[in-house]
Structure 1
Amino acid sequence: MTATAHELSYRLDQKRSINGAFPGPKSQALNERRAAVVAAGVSSGVPVYVEDADGGIVRDVDGNSFIDLGSGIAVTSVGASDPAVVAAVQDAAAHFTHTCFMVTPYEGYIAVAEQLNRLTPGDHEKRTVLFNSGAEAVENAVKVARLATGRDAVVAFDHAYHGRTNLTMALTAKAMPYKSGPSGGFGPFAPEVYRMPMSYPFREENPEITGAEAAKRAITMIEKQIGGDQVAAIIIEPIQGEGGFIVPAEGFLPALSAWAKEKGIVFIADEVQSGFCRTGEWFAVNHEGVVPDIITMAKGIAGGLPLSAITGRADLLDAVHPGGLGGTYGGNPVACAAALAAIGTMEQHDLNARARHIEEIALGRLNELAAEVSAIGDVRGRGAMLAIELVQAGSKEPNAELTKAVAAACLQEGVIILTCGTYGNVIRLLPPLVISDELLIDGLDVLAAAIKANA
């Protein structure tokens, strides 16, 4: 049964409220303390400090309440303080906070692996390993693919984002700020990473190109530049995140997956941002029936606690020798308890259906807005992973300045939105899946007014 606003209960009042100028005095004081001790390389998009959060509301230390349309970048899908997650964390922490699964194991790790093996696509035999972050999951998926195949080359795609560690920076397409900066870069990067063209329907030179044709374009380049028999893995976000919430044309993913299978290439679906009900399915690959060899997960997996995972074919993961996978904190017992509770909440309230309901509400409004505002070049996404690409009116020229102005205007009115995109011109909407209809509609109204006022 789909969870409605009436079936979900909230601890905080689900209304936006701005009490005065912000950042308020308490946030300003915290910002001064921060400047003295926190590295400048860590930036924050919103200049206020959180005191409490629940449902679709984030409340700052000065008492302002903001509509949360970002979910901490798709993390707090079940809410920032889901009662089931809170209770599970409290109970787990009261018993033990750490032992290291590689030293003295515990049931929670096994239980999470059982759930992921059950929920991920495919009915083949699977194995799971738990880690801490999305980047760590990606690194290990590539490790497994290389060892299991005996090959070196890894194929990633234009507009991809896979993380900030050395290998994941190599996989990531966007240079600034992830790979380079004003005074230099973070390289040298890991070798044997090759980039191929993505299916990006809005920006294709040939707007009639199909997903299958776009896949053939990439496959032809792989064969020409690398050779299919040299490729260990293809890694792709089924819906690209930081690159701009790019949904490839239908048929692109199935064609790539089928070719990879034919060539003995490990097909890795990076579902760090798109997984766990975010798109209206447990995983975004489900929309086209794609079954990855390995799937990487994080963000929405544990209700806000740091946890990530790779789940894949048993023969691939079991090919790694004992001790070749793991980590001191991987599969922390408190995070495992949170993940089990979060998955329980997703199933209890059918948050897949809830995500599809959010899509129905939001896409209808956004498409109406696009018909009125010529600066909206494209509206796209699935479930509660939606985006607006802003352009110079009457063209496809990216409009990053407008995007920044809209985000700032929304914040002034008490709505937190995130931006993304290779060109910095995409507004992405990632509301908690437990947000009420009323709060979502209010947030969309503010967003629409901000776009109209600044376009």
Structure 2
Amino acid sequence: MSAAGVLGSTRSWFDRDVQFDHYGADPLPFGCTGARGIVQQFVELAGGQAGRSFDVLDASGGYGSACLGAGSEVIAEALATAVRQAGYVTDEIASAERSLLLERLFGPGGLFADRFPAADYRVSGRNSGSEGMELALRLVLESRFDRRLLRAVPGAEQRDIVLGFEGAWHGWSGGLLPLLNRRHYRVGLPAVAPEQFGFSTDHIPFGDVEAAQEWFDRNGDRVLAVMVEPVQGDAGILVPEQGYLRRLAALAEQSGALLVADEVLTFAKTGRFFAMSDDEGPIPTDITVIGKSLGMGALSTSMVIARRELGVRPTGTVSTSDLRPLTCAVIRAGLDHVVGEGLLERSAEVGAQLGRLLRERVVAPFPDLYREARGVGLLHGIELTEPTAARIGELRNCMIRNGVYVEFMSGAGRRSHGLRYVYPTMRVAPPLVVSADDVETIAARLAAGSQALRELAA
């Protein structure tokens, strides 16, 4: 049924009746009837203005996944061609489309070859970032024992700690729960059994070199792996100081631990493909997981890129979705478009402009609402003050009614080592196709939404 037909139906917005409530709060009183680029067409669903249609600029990129916005002709053509021609074989059968993608990424001169040469790394595909992180954890756990004899390899018997970070988010699936240091998400759900080859997770504050050094001094001989987001997303878009990630990588290597980079959110959003980088260049990792933007807003997919010596027991990595030809066609077309149009380089410039506008036109005029803005590339966050954090629902409605769509992150909360509490944060991460004029308008609309919230309390 067309959008117009839906609006005229006596059973309009039927998804509100039958879709599971994932959020536990009153649903947003808006519906979407279509989109093009970063512009979405919304309609009011309740109240005195029910039925009002208006345009909303997407400053979220669909949970950070729609890097080309809506209606990309490049992706539409790739999908149509792949459906007609590419087939749907699993990874048991070699695929021409899969080969084209992997050679484009990891072959000589490939987009990722300088960081992940094919002689040293292999790749697996998954349905989502959470599934990719589950496989990364599986690779970590199975690295310490003989997969045929199912007993520890010499020297690995005592390696039973995975180092995580306060405020981290790696996914909501069961195997990843131990990596979250938020009791709210874990209590009452399955935990890792205290058995042979079990593991525990320690959490330290992100970005604190001294805390990391202190922890490794005490636990270096027991650490199995370090799981890190190069920019912490759900914690509030926390960007570490230059040199921190490289130092963390060195500590992991010196201790014999594996370094796992969760780049599900950061992939292609920081002005380059990978955020595990600094002024010296790429920071080596043992496993890297990418997702969200990888599917170009058309598919949910992820990749796990791991050193060749890592693996699991036979059939332990089989997946229905492991780099199917259609998925590969969409990824290849999208990444070629990103490179051909210079979207990463442009996003770095536009992202710097966005960061400045958020500080000057949103945070500075509203110190009662916001603490600070921070970010890199097109991945930014505006941290709320404590009073505003209690009004997120109102704030979000104000933003949408003023023509801008944003999402909210949980914040890192209470941290150790004397670091301050980090409140929920508004994520501002528009698609890569956003223009300089677009970010000017986004900032103006964020300011208008902020003023609307302030007036509600007057």
Scaled by the length of structure 2, what TM-score is found? 0.80
Q: Is the Cα–Cα contact under 8 Å of residues 302 and 340 in structure 1 kept in the other structure? A: no
Q: Which residue of 2 aligns with 1:91?
A: 81
Q: Which residue of 1 aligns with 2:274?
A: 283
Q: Which residue of 2 aligns with 1:153?
A: 161
Q: Flag the structure with higher helix content.
A: 1
The answer on 1:355 being equivalent to 2:347 is yes
The answer on 1:106 being equivalent to 2:114 is no
Distance (Å, rounded) in 1 between the aligned partners of 2:111 and 2:182 = 31
Q: Is the Cα–Cα contact under 8 Å of residues 125 and 323 in structure 2 kept in the other structure? A: yes
Deviates more, 1:110-119 or 1:370-379: 110-119
Between 1 and 2, higher relative CO (CA 8 Å, sep ≥ 6) is seen in 1
The answer on 1:265 being equivalent to 2:264 is no
Q: Which residue of 2 aligns with 1:57?
A: 39
Structure 1 ranges of 4+ moved more than 6 A: 42-45
Distance (Å, rounded) in 1 between the aligned partners of 2:217 and 2:161 = 12
Deviations 1:173-232 (A, max 9, x none): 3444x445xxxx333357524132223xxxxxxxxxxx5xx23313423553xx323222
Identity over aligned residues, as a percent?
26
Distance (Å, rounded) in 2 between the aligned partners of 1:27 and 1:43 = 27
Q: Which residue of 2 aligns with 1:206?
A: none
The answer on 1:340 being equivalent to 2:332 is yes
Distance (Å, rounded) in 2 between the aligned partners of 1:345 and 1:35 = 36
From 135, 139, 144, the counterpart of 1:144: 139
Deviates more, 1:159-168 or 1:75-84: 75-84
CA spacing shift, 1:175–1:350, aligned 2, 3 Å? farther
Deviates more, 1:261-270 or 1:58-67: 58-67
Q: Which residue of 1 aligns with 2:151?
A: none
Q: Which residue of 1 aligns with 2:440?
A: 441
Deviation at 1:60, TM superposition (A): 4.1
The answer on 1:198 being equivalent to 2:205 is yes
Distance (Å, rounded) in 1 between the aligned partners of 2:322 and 2:429 = 26
Q: Which residue of 1 aligns with 2:150?
A: none
Greater C-alpha Rg = 2
Q: Is the Cα–Cα contact under 8 Å of residues 132 and 331 in structure 1 kept in the other structure? A: no
Q: Which residue of 1 aligns with 2:20?
A: 39
Q: Please list, as runs of the form range in 1=range in 2, the aligned pairs for 1:1-400 lying within 5 A after superposition.
A: 29-31=11-13, 33-41=14-22, 46-60=28-42, 64-95=54-85, 98-102=88-92, 104-117=93-106, 118-120=110-112, 122=115, 124=117, 125-150=120-145, 151-176=159-184, 178-179=185-186, 185-188=188-191, 192-199=199-206, 214-224=208-218, 227-276=219-268, 278-288=269-279, 289=281, 290-304=283-297, 305-316=299-310, 319-369=311-361, 370-375=363-368, 376-391=370-385, 397=386, 399-400=388-389
- The RMSD of aligned alpha carbons is 2.7
Q: Is the Cα–Cα contact under 8 Å of residues 350 and 435 in structure 2 kept in the other structure? A: no
CA spacing shift, 1:404–1:47, aligned 2, 3 Å? closer
Deviations 1:343-393 (A, max 9, x none): 0111011111121122222122122133333232121000100111121xx
CA spacing shift, 1:106–1:336, aligned 2, 3 Å? same
Q: One-letter code of the match for 1:295? A: T
Partner of 1:284, secondary structure, is coil
Distance (Å, rounded) in 1 between the aligned partners of 2:11 and 2:349 = 40
Q: One-letter code of the match for 2:19? A: V
Distance (Å, rounded) in 2 between the aligned partners of 1:294 and 1:58 = 36
From 397, 401, 408, the counterpart of 1:412: 401
Q: Which residue of 2 aligns with 1:11?
A: none
Distance (Å, rounded) in 2 between the aligned partners of 1:412 and 1:27 = 24
- Consecutive unaligned residues in structure 1, runs of 5 or more: 1-23, 200-210, 392-396
Q: Is the Cα–Cα contact under 8 Å of residues 349 and 377 in structure 2 kept in the other structure? A: yes
Q: One-letter code of the match for 2:347? A: A
Q: Which residue of 1 aligns with 2:420?
A: none
Deviations 1:406-429 (A, max 9, x none): 321111122111111335621111
Q: One-letter code of the match for 2:244? A: F
Q: Report the count of equivalent residues.
A: 403
Deviation at 1:54, TM superposition (A): 2.2
Deviates more, 1:435-444 or 1:125-134: 435-444
- Consecutive unaligned residues in structure 2, runs of 5 or more: 1-5, 44-50, 146-158, 414-422
